[in-house]
Amino acid sequence: MDLKEVCKAVGFKKASIYSWMNAGEFPKSIKIGRSVRWLSTEVEEWIAGKISAARQGK
């Protein structure tokens, strides 16, 4: 996934994504040539984890 797709999937802007990455709270990106990408499975797992934590009141 590129950054635009990640932002759309999680519903936050790039500043939040990079802030979470720097804090170790979001999947790390992968650099391929000049492009930066994320594994869709890792982003989906992150989203599922956030949903699960919200439902458990964490």
Q: What is the DSSP string of the chain?
A: --HHHHHHHHT--HHHHHHHHHTT-SPPPEEETTEEE--HHHHHHHHHHHHHHHHTT-
- The pLDDT averaged over each successive group of 10 residues in the chain (58 residues) is 97 97 97 96 97 88
State the pLDDT at residue 58. Answer: 65
State the pLDDT at residue 57. Answer: 80
